[in-house]
Amino acid sequence: MRMDGTYFKQFCLISYQDHHSNYTQLIRFSDEERYEEIKEDLQNLLRLGLKIESMTVDGQKGTLRAIREVLTETKIQRCLVHIQRQSLIWLTNSPKHTSAKELRKIVLLISKISTHNDKIAWLRQFKQWEIAHKSYYQQKSFNSETDRYWYTHKLLRRTFIYIKSAIPNMFHFLDDEAIPKTTNGIEGFFSHLKNHLDIHRGLTTEHRKNFIKWYIYFSNEK
């Protein structure tokens, strides 16, 4: 199963989809992806009798916490595209320092990992980068406003920690072809939904939600 959220001006739509059939099992309207609500959704999916062997998600902290608490035996697959996309945002398109340039090259390889050999080679590069640049990304500077020392290269360090913390859940798809390595399928669904909804821009918030419900209903009937 894959799970993701998308934002409209008035609300956030959270959707849970079967990867193979693209069938939408459950949706929720909210203002953001909240731990309490996602936990409730997962519990409801279990009550419906679904056996969820894996969940491919973007890595939002509340989502990960909810899955670990409710689906204790379920494999969590982090979406590789989300990891790559967020890392590139923090590193920017044109980083200046060598360490950031090298890490950016490693990040660009994430979405290309498709075999165990790719995984081994990528992990080796990432570890080599960590060793070579540890002293740089851990540098601290004194901040006179807060009267304390803090990391000088915050975004570089944040990118490194973000990727390293995701590694345990990045490669389940290599051992089970039934596990999608990205949430691209559900993002494509969101894109088509928004294109259809844009035609009816004058709808009230409630009518927009009803439109989405009907759209999903007929999509599931295909």
pLDDT tens digits for the chain (222 residues)?
A: 999 999 988 899 999 999 888 899 999 999 999 999 999 999 999 999 999 999 999 989 999 999 999 999 999 999 999 999 999 999 999 999 999 999 999 999 999 999 999 999 999 999 999 999 999 999 999 887 777 888 889 999 999 999 999 999 999 999 999 999 999 888 889 999 999 888 887 889 999 999 999 999 999 987
pLDDT score, position 27: 95
The string over 69-106, giving b where at least 16 C-beta atoms fall within 10 Å of a residue's C-beta and e elsewhere, is ebbeebbbbbbbbbbbebbbebbeeebeeebbebbbee
Domain count, the chain: 2
In a domain, 27, yes or no: yes
In a domain, 57, yes or no: yes
**126 plus 187 within the same structural domain:** no
pLDDT score, position 197: 86
Q: For the chain, what is the radius of gyration of the CA atoms?
A: 20
pLDDT score, position 165: 96
In a domain, 174, yes or no: no
pLDDT score, position 147: 78
**126 plus 72 within the same structural domain:** no
**18 plus 69 within the same structural domain:** yes
Decide if 68 contacts 55 (C-beta within 8 A): no
**152 plus 186 within the same structural domain:** no
Q: Which of 142, 167, 192 is the last residue of a domain?
A: 167
pLDDT score, position 202: 82
**67 plus 44 within the same structural domain:** yes
**128 plus 154 within the same structural domain:** yes
**208 plus 148 within the same structural domain:** no
In a domain, 176, yes or no: no
- CATH number, domain of 187, equals 3.30.420.10
pLDDT score, position 199: 84
Q: How far is CA 103 from CA 84, 96, 99, 140, in A?
A: 11, 12, 6, 20
**138 plus 186 within the same structural domain:** no
Angle at which helix 35-47 crosses helix 61-70, to 10 degrees, equals 30
In a domain, 215, yes or no: yes
The string over 132-162, giving b where at least 16 C-beta atoms fall within 10 Å of a residue's C-beta and e elsewhere, is ebeeebeeeeeeeeeeeeeeebebbbbbbee
In a domain, 173, yes or no: no
State the amino acid at position 107 in one-letter form: V
What is the spatial distance between Cα 42 and Cα 67, in angstroms, rounded to a whole number? 7
What is the span of the domain harbouring residue 138? Answer: 90-167
In a domain, 211, yes or no: yes
**152 plus 123 within the same structural domain:** yes
Model confidence, pTM: 0.89
pLDDT score, position 144: 74
In a domain, 38, yes or no: yes
**23 plus 66 within the same structural domain:** yes
